[in-house]
Structure 1
Amino acid sequence: MSISDSTSSATDTPLADLPATLQRLRAAWQAAKPDQAQRRDDLLRLRAALKRRLPEMADAIAADFGHRSRHESLLADGMTVLGEIDHLLRHLKRWMRPQRVGAGWRLWPARAEVRPVPVGVVGVIAPWNYPVNLALIPLATAIAAGNHVYLKPSEHTPRTAQFLQSLLAEVFPPQRVAVALGAAEVAGAFAALPLDHLVFTGSTAVGRKVMAAAAPNLTPLTLELGGKSPAIVCADYPLAQAAARLATGKWFNAGQTCIAPDYVLIDAGRSAALVQALRAQVLARYGDFAAADDYTRIVNEGQYRRLRGYLDDARARGLEVVELARVEPERAERERLIVPTVVLQPGDDALLMQEEIFGPILPLRSYRTLDEAIALVNGRDRPLALYPFSHDRAQVEAILHATVAGGVTVNDSLLHFAANALPFGGIGPSGMGAYHGRAGFDAFSKALPILWQSRWAASDWLKPPYARIARLVDLLLR
């Protein structure tokens, strides 16, 4: 099974080592399941090591991308991870407590509880776009739940993968956290391991392959996929503010974000004004792109060519393609630099409306009524994120009632991902399951039901001959 189209390298983990490593992790977990003190200590040491090595992390990510805004790396791959670890530490004691539940009068005087217990070894297949965030947040959550972890970082960010391997080796012994390096063959074999839970973040197409590889083992999955996440700008919402918040969501990390606004639906007659407001945002944020140190480049040549292909297709269809900044073509090719770009009124047949864009290209389509906008959203697969923009609560509620999405930020974009208490996950083709905060702790735990029987129990009567309790049963069934 091909999980990616990358070639292997000399640093690839030998395929024969994968099951042996899993066996080592599971045996160590079985021999000494982490208690609360161990989990807290692990999280604290991981936090301290990551915080100390943040400059090294940012350098590794920048080297993999060709250029990645240092501030974006520190925010998205540093601060967000540290914040999630803090949230886990703050709530871990309470989450670990067994929950007393009623056993029902028929089982009196028995007591019942639900106890969260770790599942064993959690596998994590991390992507390249936020290569530390999307590796360490599920890893830290699995550790908080009392598991051991087997991590497979993305081969598209090899320096960051090596950084993660070094960081985790500093914090954890190899029998508790292990890292597998490699490309397609390694990723396919990793997904086929009999893990106790597997987290995958990536495209829907690859997610289907991961699910197929995991199916023979019935491995429980959390799939964080993608799709075309829409923004709906209603007629009452100020365009300047909409442009500012869309610009952050779309051009942070040069749009290489699974929950970036993929296209915008704008009320008829305001699309030209929105383009001008977006142009003003580009100028205010990046100037004339003479250096563009705060603007991230496209991660590799394959992704760059794919995005250029969308623009070529749009121009071939006669669509209006508006580049909101200008750079020399030679520089753009050399640096894999695609400036913020808007495509006006693309039809459903345009390539950029058929696939998740995952780059700094923003299609704008007009709608006449809110019902029309909702129908456009519902005519596609259920998205990973949805962004309604309106100060009219009734309009927002109408959108939320009529659509289904993995998550929602109202009057902004991206930010529901950063709310530690909110579960993060998709639905349908955009994913299954969720993690972050309590949702992640629960996902990587088994809710173990336990009934504590008393010295005397009604069950002592549940045996033949039943004639002696026939009248009681008859009364209970009335």
Structure 2
Amino acid sequence: MAATLNTQRQSFIDDGYPTLKTRIDRLDRLIDLLRVNKQRFSDALRADYRARSHFDSVVFDVLVPIESLKYLRKNTASWMKKESRGAKFPLNLLGADAHVFYQPLGVVGIVSPWNFPVQLTFSPLGNAISAGNRAMIKPSELTPETSALMAELIHNTFATEEIAVVNGGPDVASAFCGQAFDHLVFTGAPSVAKHVMRAAAENLVPLTLELGGKCPVIIGEGADLKAAVERTFTFKTMNAGQICLAPDYTYVKASQLEEFIQFARQFVESNFGTLNDNPDYGSVINARHRGRITSYIQEAHDRGYRVEALADDIGLAQPESHNKLAPTLVINPDSDAKIMCDEIFGPAMAVKTYDNIDSVCTEINAGERPLALYYFGSSKAEIQQIKLNTTSGGMVVNDIAAHVLQDTMPLGGVGHSGMGSYHGFDGFRQLSHAKAYYKQGLVSLTPYFKAPHTAKMLKLLEKVMG
């Protein structure tokens, strides 16, 4: 691992500043790798999950990163240009040049998760390559078939000094995060991120953390309730809700609660029917994670909360063979319930009724800051209030996670949901060093600052600068 890092760093130094041609060539190879191997990636993901939608695997783990890579390929040339910052007057009139250019960092480490293992590897990887870096990747051990396939394909497509994959379990991941990278990107759980930060701190490695969190949905004034439910549960059932941007809990007016539940049940029935044998409904990644989610639901039962399973064939007690679990609602749990304290990362959801938007903002602000917040409605006053008075990585109005498909916008959290961002120019900039460049013109100010200092000179500077 350390030898690979040293090889990449020395190659980065020996080759000098990476040209546009080099960067585009590497991006093209990444695009071709994904295009040619769509079916292999889908097969590997199904083997890892035991039940995963082919559609979801191809669209979200292959086609979405291809789109992002194409956007990077189109825009890298313009991002490589210097940004003029303008020297101060009167130096700007005397030939001074002040600009910033984005310089590659060197070797970027990428720790990718298991929920969308291909997309969440290739998205930051594309940014690293666009910015002119080398990259080392540690995929998740929870998706061994997909991780092995990525290692094989990248090994066959790139030299080790360009991109390398390191596979292994938690011990390997820990050692990986302790390497002296020039930047480390981690996508995963906040609890794990704390260990990643400690390991990176040993070498003062800067970090980008994309961590998820409890993303709320607010059904506000003027909302089309049926459309809101359909869009919310499209993402809550996709990959069995194992998405960092998936809705975790929903606020709905008390007068709309029963209709909300009815629409949710109708959505599951009309789009899936039965779930256990349905190839479009995926499984939870493993028995441990299924048990974690079912423990939230069981606690809700034990505490007397209303629990609504949206399908009957794979509930808590029904046997199944693929770690599937029916979408399940817990109505009005208290703030100390497990389902309200932990990120669910699965097909369960809390639903809370409310009277006014002020109380909703207060509750959201009392918790950790989420990766995203979703509002459905047409009230400009509510939208503005939520936009200005709550803090989240992103905010989407009248849809779920739509901002993740916009390569022009950053994807990143704030506080407990992460730091830094990737996607598009924001990712290019995150994985670059903004180097300040200044060339003095005809006149230098240095003579005004040299000793011996005089009262006359100080008075002049106070007049000019103060």
* TM-score normalized by the length of structure 2: 0.95
Q: Please name the residue that 2:4 is paired with.
A: 21
Deviations 1:78-121 (A, max 9, x none): 11100100110111111000111211125443211101000000
Change (3 A) 1:298 1:474: closer
Q: Please name the residue that 2:400 is paired with.
A: 413
Residue 76 of structure 2 aligns with an amino acid whose one-letter code is L
Contact 1:124 1:199 in 2 (8 A): yes
The alignment status of 1:265 with 2:265, answered yes or no, reads no
From 258, 275, 278, the equivalent of 1:289 is: 275
* TM-score normalized by the length of structure 1: 0.93
Of stretches 394-403 and 447-456 in structure 1, the one that deviates more from structure 2 is 447-456
Q: Please name the residue that 1:30 is paired with.
A: 13
Residue 279 of structure 1 aligns with an amino acid whose one-letter code is R
Residue 464 of structure 2 aligns with an amino acid whose one-letter code is L
From 192, 204, 210, the equivalent of 1:206 is: 192
CA shift, 1:58, in A, is 0.7
Residue 382 of structure 2 aligns with an amino acid whose one-letter code is Q
Contact 1:235 1:267 in 2 (8 A): no
User: How far apart, CA to CA, are the structure 2 residues paired with 1:207 and 1:54?
Assistant: 30
The alignment status of 1:40 with 2:40, answered yes or no, reads no
Change (3 A) 1:476 1:231: same
Contact 1:331 1:337 in 2 (8 A): no
Q: Please name the residue that 2:330 is paired with.
A: 343
CA shift, 1:313, in A, is 0.9
User: How far apart, CA to CA, are the structure 1 residues paired with 2:335 and 2:448?
Assistant: 68
Contact 1:227 1:356 in 2 (8 A): yes
CA shift, 1:291, in A, is 2.7
* Counterpart secondary structure, 1:269: helix
CA shift, 1:476, in A, is 2.5
Q: Please name the residue that 2:415 is paired with.
A: 428
The alignment status of 1:385 with 2:368, answered yes or no, reads no
The alignment status of 1:105 with 2:93, answered yes or no, reads no
User: How far apart, CA to CA, are the structure 2 residues paired with 1:459 and 1:232?
Assistant: 58
How do 1:59-458 residues align onto structure 2 when only pairs under 5 Å count? 59-105=43-89, 107=91, 108-289=94-275, 291-327=277-313, 332-454=319-441, 457-458=444-445
Provide the aligned C-alpha RMSD in A. 1.8
Contact 1:124 1:198 in 2 (8 A): yes
Contact 2:314 2:324 in 1 (8 A): no
* Counterpart secondary structure, 1:435: coil
User: How far apart, CA to CA, are the structure 2 residues paired with 1:284 and 1:32?
Assistant: 57
User: How far apart, CA to CA, are the structure 2 residues paired with 1:142 and 1:473?
Assistant: 45
Contact 1:115 1:449 in 2 (8 A): yes
User: How far apart, CA to CA, are the structure 2 residues paired with 1:358 and 1:309?
Assistant: 13
Task: List alignment gaps of at least 5 residues for structure 2.
Answer: none
Deviations 1:153-201 (A, max 9, x none): 0000011101111121122101111111111111111111111000001
CA shift, 1:456, in A, is 5.2
Contact 2:276 2:320 in 1 (8 A): no
User: How far apart, CA to CA, are the structure 1 residues paired with 2:405 and 2:314?
Assistant: 36
The alignment status of 1:476 with 2:452, answered yes or no, reads no
Contact 2:314 2:325 in 1 (8 A): no
CA shift, 1:472, in A, is 5.2
Identity of aligned residues (%): 37
CA shift, 1:50, in A, is 0.9
For these two proteins, the number of residue pairs brought into alignment is 461
User: How far apart, CA to CA, are the structure 1 residues paired with 2:159 and 2:442?
Assistant: 45
User: How far apart, CA to CA, are the structure 2 residues paired with 1:442 and 1:70?
Assistant: 34
Change (3 A) 1:461 1:403: closer
User: How far apart, CA to CA, are the structure 2 residues paired with 1:289 and 1:115?
Assistant: 53
Change (3 A) 1:328 1:412: closer
* Counterpart secondary structure, 2:375: strand
Deviations 1:61-82 (A, max 9, x none): 1110111101001111111100
Change (3 A) 1:414 1:466: same
Residue 85 of structure 2 aligns with an amino acid whose one-letter code is V
* Counterpart secondary structure, 2:360: helix
Deviations 1:250-302 (A, max 9, x none): 11111000110000010122111100001111112102336311111111111
Change (3 A) 1:368 1:455: closer
Change (3 A) 1:275 1:176: same
Change (3 A) 1:455 1:388: same
Of stretches 68-77 and 229-238 in structure 1, the one that deviates more from structure 2 is 229-238
Contact 1:332 1:338 in 2 (8 A): no
